[in-house]
Amino acid sequence: MRTFRIKIVHNEGLHARPASRFVSLCHKFISDIKIVNGDLTADGKNITEVLSLGIEKGDYLTIDIRGKDEQEAEIALKKLFSHRNFNMEKI
């Protein structure tokens, strides 16, 4: 299992466009990917669940990855989060 945290820094939080990019990237992996915001958890491969987390600026998210390609998924997601246009910072 791989786990890492990020902080949302974009004024609009995790709105539709970056959430869609996150979910699309998650679909490229066999591993189960969960995104946790406080007490709420969503399947990283389900856009409705991700958006239902109501992720806002300043929220700290935990990403849990479990499966055969978890290392590759972690690298790819961290790369996505570090991309300047994704408006998030790793913590």
List beta partners, residue 7: 60, 89
Q: How far apart are CA 29 and CA 27, in angstroms?
A: 5
Whether 15 sits among the annotated catalytic residues: the reply is yes
Residue whose token pair is 């915001």: 37
Q: How far apart are CA 65 and CA 87, in angstroms?
A: 21
Q: How far apart are CA 32 and CA 64, in angstroms?
A: 8
Active-site option among 10, 15, 27, 83 = 15
Helices and strands, counts by H and E, the chain: 3, 5
What amino acid positions are annotated as catalytic residues? Answer: 15
